[in-house]
Structure 1
Amino acid sequence: MELKPSVLSEEEIRELLTTIDEITVKEAKKVNLTSLEETVLVKGEPGGSIVYDLKGRRIIDMTSQAWTLNVGYSHPDVVYAAAFQASVLNHVRYGFPTIPRLKLLLKLKEIYGFERVALNTQGGGWSIEVALKLAMINKPGADTFLVAWRSYHGNSLALTTASHPLPGLIRYKLFGEEKFVRYPYPYCYRCPFKMKYPECAADPCLSFVEKTIKYATKGVNSIGALLIEPVQGPGGVVPAPPEFLKGIIELGGKYGFYIIFDEAQTANGRVGAWSVAHIHNVKPDMMTLTKGLGGGFPVGATLAKEGIKGLSYPEEHTTFGGNPVPYAAALVNLLVIEKLNLVERARIMGDYALKRLLDMKERFDLIGDVRGYGLYLGIDLVKNRTTREPALEEAEEVVKKAFEKGALYALDMPDIIGDEVTMRNVIKVRPPLVIKKEELDEALNILEEALIEVSEEYGYAFTKA
C-alpha cells in the first residue's frame, strides 16, 4: 500500500498535523466550547505506553487514554488496517455490509459467546442506548430501567440521567428522570448496609434490589432492564461480588426483565479475561462494549442472546454507523490482542501491580483499600482507616505530583452533596496491556514518591520500602 496526497504535499500535511505554537493553542482553546486539559499531547510510542507532549516531555500513560489503548498508542497493525481500509473504501451508508463489518460481527460472537451483535461508530453510550431500545422492543410497554448508585453509562441526554447525578457540574435539567430507578451498588469497602463481605454473601444488597423492584417501580411489567457495570469504573473501581451478579441475573429471570452488563471499560482483555462475565462464568441477556475494542478508533458493540429481536433500520441507523474504517481497526485490534496473548499478560502484569500496591497499602496509612482485576485497579485513599473518610485533596495532590514526575494517573468521579464534594479519592491504575515491566515499575515508583511527598505534607504515617 502506497498512500500519496494529490492536492496538498506530504510536507504540508505533516506540518499541519504535527506542529503548533502556543499562541494558536490559546486561540483555539478560546474558540472551543468544551473543557480541555492544559497539556497538549502530540505523539505516542507505536504499540507502547509512552506519550509525548508539545514540549517533548515523556509521560508513562497509566490511563490508556480513557482505558482505550489496550494495544498501546498507534499500534502499527491497527493503524495499517485503518489506513488500508480507508484507501480502498472509506465510507458507506449504514445499511450496506462491508467485509470488515461482517467479519467483526462474527469475531465478537466467537469471543464473547453472544448470538446477536449490533455495531456502531459512536462508542459505549450508543451501545447502551441500543440495548435499552432492544429491551423496550422485546418487552412492549416496559420503559423503566434500574440503574446503580454511582454508575456511569454515557453522556447522551438519556444516559446522563441513567448515570450518577453530578449537580453543579451538569447544569441542564436531566431528561427522562421518571424512566430510571436507582438501586444500591455493592460497594463492599463502604457497604451501605454496614455488612462485611464475604460473610454477607451479598444478600442485603440483593434483597434491596428486589425491594426496589417491588416497591419503587410502577410494577414488574414496567421494567425493561437492569443496567450494571460488573466493576464500577468512574464510581471508583468497585467490583460487584460474583454472588451479586449471579443474583441479579436470577432476579431478571424471576421478574421478566433483561440484564445488561456495561463492560465498556472492563472488556477486551483489560481485567485479565475477555470480560468480567468471563471471570465469573455468568452470561447476562446483553453486554455492551467500546473503549479497548477499537484500538483507539471509535467503535461500540451491543451483544445479545439468541431470541432477542433486532432493530429496524429507522430504530438504529446513523450516518457514520456503517463506516468500515473503525471496524477494520477493531477487527485487527482483536487479532493483535489474541496473537500477543494480551489477555493473559493483563492478568500477569495486573497480579504484579496489585502485589506492589498491596505492599504500599501496608506501608502508607493514606491507602485504605486496593482492588480490581488485571490491569484495572483502584487505590482508595482515606483520611482515617477506621472511618474510611475519603481523602479528596490528598488524592488530587498525588495524581498532580505523579504527572509532574512523568506518570499519568486519573481519579474517580465525584460525589456532590449540595455544594460539597464528598468523594473523588480513588486513583485509577489502567495502563495499556502492552506496558513493559520496567515502565510499570517506573510509574509505580513515581506513584510511591508522590505518596511519600503527600503523606509528609499532610501528616500521614508511612514507611519507606
Structure 2
Amino acid sequence: MMTDKVRIDTLSAHSLPQSNDTFLARQAEFESNVRSYPRKLPLAIAKAQGVWITDVENNQYLDCLAGAGTLALGHNHPDVLQSIQSVISSGLPLHTLDLTTPLKDEFSSYLLSLLPGQGKEYCLQFTGPSGADAVEAALKLAKKVTGRSGIISFSGAYHGMTHGALSVTGNLSPKEAVSNMMPEVQFMPYPHLYRCPLGIGGDAGVKALTYYFENLINDVESGVRKPAAVILEAVQGEGGVNPAPVEWLQRIRKVTQEHGILLILDEVQAGFCRTGKLFAFEHAGIEPDIIVMSKAVGGGLPLAVLGIKKQFDAWAPGHHTGTFRGNQLAMATGLTTLKILKDDAIADKVAAQGEWLKGKLTDLQQRFPAIGHVRGLGLMIGIEMVKPNEAQDHMGCYPADGELSALLQKKCFESGLILERGGRHGCVLRLLPSLLITNAELEIFLDKFENALLGAGLKPV
C-alpha cells in the first residue's frame, strides 16, 4: 500500500498543469519566505543537459549559474550519471558516517594528490555537506590549534549562512536582527580592482592595503589581539567577483606564517579549475594552512572537505562530527569530476576562454558605457553595471547601478539566459557556467547578453 501511495503521489504531480506559474505558486505555498532564486529566475525545471535547462513549458535557457558553480561539468554529464549508477548497483551503502570504503579511499587519495605538493603535507577532514559546514570546522580548528579566539575576515567576503560563517561574511543584510554574532571578528578592507576601499586605486592602493594588513598585525596599539586565523577568498564571488592581487595575497601568507596565524583559503566557489587554475590561490603561488572545499568537489552532490596541514590537525576523535560526511554518491561523482578536470586539462581551457570572453565583454563595454568594469579569472567573471550619466568619483568610477543590474538579469532570463548577481547593491552580473562550455555556446551567451542590454533600453554608442 505504501508503494502504491508513493506512486500515486508522484503521478499527481505530473497531472498538474505544466506551467511555470502553477509550480511557482505551489512552491510559494509550500516553502518559507527564505527562498530566493525563484524570485529572480521564475521557472520550474523539467530537465537539463550540459549548459542547457528546459522548463516545464519547454522553454530553453543557457545556464551560466550552474548551481552557483557546483556543476563544474554541467548538467547530467554522462560519466557522472554512470558513476551514480555504479554505486547504486555495487551494493555499497549510500551513507557511512566516517567509516571508510574502497570508494572513499580512492576519492581521498585522488583529492589529496591535487593539493599543494601532491598533498604530502595535508590530511582531509570530511565535514557536513555544505561549504558553510566546512567553514565552521575550519574556524573551530584554528581556535583549537592556536588557543586564540579572534578571526580576521574581509569586506565583501562570503563564507556561508551558519552562525560562525555568517559572522565572517561581509554582507550586512542577513545579519540584521541576528544578535550575538561570533565575537572577535575583525574585518579588513579587501582590494577591489574598480573601487579601491582606500580611495587610492591601482598599484598604490594595493601597496597601501598590503601595508595596512601587516601593520595591523605588528602594531601593539592596533587594538586587535593576535587572531587564531585569517579567512579569505582568493577571488571573492558573492562580493562581486574580485580577484585578490598576487602581491597582497603573498604578503598575507608571509605575515600569517611569521606570527603563527592560520591562513584559511575558502575555495568553495573558486576551486577546481573555475579560475583557470586548480585552486584560485595557485595564482599567487602560496600554500594555505587550511583549504575549504565544497560545491564542485562533490561533482554536483552534497560534499564538503577540508584540506588541513598535518601539523595543525589538532582534533581529538569525535570533536567535530557531521552525520552526512560519508556521502558515497558524492564521492563517486566527485572522483569522476576531478579526474575529468585533470585528465582533460580543463584548467588550461578555462583560462584561455576566460581571457577571450573578458576581451569580448570589454569590446561590448566600449559600445555600452553602462558596463563600468569587467573582471574575474577563468570562467568566474563579473560585469559591474554603472550610471554613466552621473558624476564620476575622484578615481573615475561611476556610481553603481543595482537597479539596472536587476533589470538586466530579468531581460537575460526573458532572452533565455540565466545569470546571477552579486557585489554591493547587487550591481555585478556574474558568470559561473559549466567549465565544459564551448566557444560556440559562449558566443550564444554574448548574443543573448547584448539582446538583454538592448531590451533594457541601453543605446550603443
Q: TM-score under structure 2 normalisation? A: 0.89
Is residue 250 from structure 1 mapped to residue 293 from structure 2 by the alignment?
no
Which one-letter code corresponds to 2:270 in the other structure? T
C-alpha contact (below 8 Å) 1:158/1:175 kept by paired residues: no
SS of the equivalent of 1:369 reads strand
Is residue 359 from structure 1 mapped to residue 368 from structure 2 by the alignment?
no
Query: 1:297: which partner in 2?
Result: 301
1:305–1:31 distance in 2 versus 1, CA, 3 Å: same
Deviation at 1:369, TM superposition (A): 1.0
Identity rate of aligned residues, in percent?
A: 24
Is residue 130 from structure 1 mapped to residue 128 from structure 2 by the alignment?
no
How far apart are the structure 2 equivalents of 1:107 and 1:121? Answer: 20
Deviation at 1:437, TM superposition (A): 1.9
Deviation at 1:299, TM superposition (A): 1.1
How far apart are the structure 1 equivalents of 2:180 and 2:88? Answer: 38
C-alpha contact (below 8 Å) 2:52/2:61 kept by paired residues: yes
C-alpha contact (below 8 Å) 2:128/2:321 kept by paired residues: no
1:341–1:387 distance in 2 versus 1, CA, 3 Å: closer
SS of the equivalent of 1:307 reads helix
Residue 186 (structure 1) aligned to one of 170, 188, 191: 191
How far apart are the structure 1 equivalents of 2:410 and 2:310? Answer: 47
Deviation at 1:177, TM superposition (A): 3.9
Query: 1:159: which partner in 2?
Result: 165
C-alpha contact (below 8 Å) 1:81/1:328 kept by paired residues: yes
Which one-letter code corresponds to 2:102 in the other structure? I
How far apart are the structure 2 equivalents of 1:103 and 1:382? Answer: 48
Query: 1:3: which partner in 2?
Result: none
Q: Mind listing any 5+ residue stretches in structure 1 that lack a counterpart?
A: 1-5, 416-422
How far apart are the structure 2 equivalents of 1:397 and 1:55? Answer: 23
1:282–1:19 distance in 2 versus 1, CA, 3 Å: farther
Deviation at 1:312, TM superposition (A): 3.1
Trace 1:424-439 onto structure 2 (pairs within 5 A).
424-439=426-441
C-alpha contact (below 8 Å) 1:181/1:217 kept by paired residues: no
Is residue 103 from structure 1 mapped to residue 102 from structure 2 by the alignment?
no
CA RMSD after TM alignment? 2.4
Deviation at 1:368, TM superposition (A): 1.4
SS of the equivalent of 2:312 reads coil
Deviation at 1:170, TM superposition (A): 4.5
Deviation at 1:149, TM superposition (A): 0.5
C-alpha contact (below 8 Å) 1:124/1:291 kept by paired residues: yes
How far apart are the structure 2 equivalents of 1:390 and 1:445? Answer: 24
SS of the equivalent of 2:374 reads strand
1:409–1:92 distance in 2 versus 1, CA, 3 Å: closer
Is residue 261 from structure 1 mapped to residue 265 from structure 2 by the alignment?
yes
Which one-letter code corresponds to 1:396 in the other structure? A
Deviation at 1:270, TM superposition (A): 0.8
Which one-letter code corresponds to 2:59 in the other structure? R
C-alpha contact (below 8 Å) 2:23/2:44 kept by paired residues: no
Which one-letter code corresponds to 1:404 in the other structure? E
Query: 1:398: which partner in 2?
Result: 408
C-alpha contact (below 8 Å) 2:246/2:283 kept by paired residues: no
Please list the CA deviations of residues 182-239 of structure 1 after superposition, one character each: whole Å capped at 9, or x if unmatched: 0000113111222232345x2211222234434555522xx11000111111000011
Is residue 120 from structure 1 mapped to residue 130 from structure 2 by the alignment?
no
Please list the CA deviations of residues 2-23 of structure 1 after superposition, one character each: whole Å capped at 9, or x if unmatched: xxxx956998798578675465
Which one-letter code corresponds to 2:125 in the other structure? A
Please list the CA deviations of residues 2-58 of structure 1 after superposition, one character each: whole Å capped at 9, or x if unmatched: xxxx9569987985786754656533421212315031122111xx10011121110
Query: 1:278: which partner in 2?
Result: 282
1:237–1:28 distance in 2 versus 1, CA, 3 Å: closer
SS of the equivalent of 2:360 reads helix
Trace 1:232-247 onto structure 2 (pairs within 5 A).
232-247=236-251
How far apart are the structure 2 equivalents of 1:339 and 1:281? Answer: 22
Deviation at 1:361, TM superposition (A): 1.5
Is residue 224 from structure 1 mapped to residue 228 from structure 2 by the alignment?
yes
Which one-letter code corresponds to 1:126 in the other structure? D
Query: 2:25: which partner in 1?
Result: 26
Query: 1:196: which partner in 2?
Result: 201
Please list the CA deviations of residues 55-79 of structure 1 after superposition, one character each: whole Å capped at 9, or x if unmatched: 1110000111211111010112112
Which one-letter code corresponds to 1:271 in the other structure? T
Query: 1:349: which partner in 2?
Result: 353
How far apart are the structure 2 equivalents of 1:382 and 1:237? Answer: 16
Please list the CA deviations of residues 135-159 of structure 1 after superposition, one character each: whole Å capped at 9, or x if unmatched: 122112x111001011100010111
Is residue 90 from structure 1 mapped to residue 127 from structure 2 by the alignment?
no
SS of the equivalent of 2:132 reads helix
1:130–1:19 distance in 2 versus 1, CA, 3 Å: farther
How far apart are the structure 2 equivalents of 1:104 and 1:331? Answer: 5
How far apart are the structure 2 equivalents of 1:280 and 1:329? Answer: 29
How far apart are the structure 2 equivalents of 1:53 and 1:310? Answer: 48
1:453–1:194 distance in 2 versus 1, CA, 3 Å: same
Please list the CA deviations of residues 339-370 of structure 1 after superposition, one character each: whole Å capped at 9, or x if unmatched: 33322221122122111111111221111111
SS of the equivalent of 2:190 reads coil
How far apart are the structure 1 equivalents of 2:59 and 2:455? Answer: 22
Query: 2:53: which partner in 1?
Result: 51
Residue 74 (structure 1) aligned to one of 56, 73, 76: 76
SS of the equivalent of 1:189 reads coil
Q: TM-score under structure 1 normalisation? A: 0.88
How far apart are the structure 2 equivalents of 1:82 and 1:317? Answer: 25
Which one-letter code corresponds to 2:405 in the other structure? A
1:387–1:335 distance in 2 versus 1, CA, 3 Å: closer
Deviation at 1:180, TM superposition (A): 0.9
C-alpha contact (below 8 Å) 1:272/1:373 kept by paired residues: yes
Trace 1:274-423 onto structure 2 (pairs within 5 A).
274-384=278-388, 386-413=396-423, 415=424, 423=425
1:147–1:367 distance in 2 versus 1, CA, 3 Å: same
How far apart are the structure 1 equivalents of 2:131 and 2:410? Answer: 28
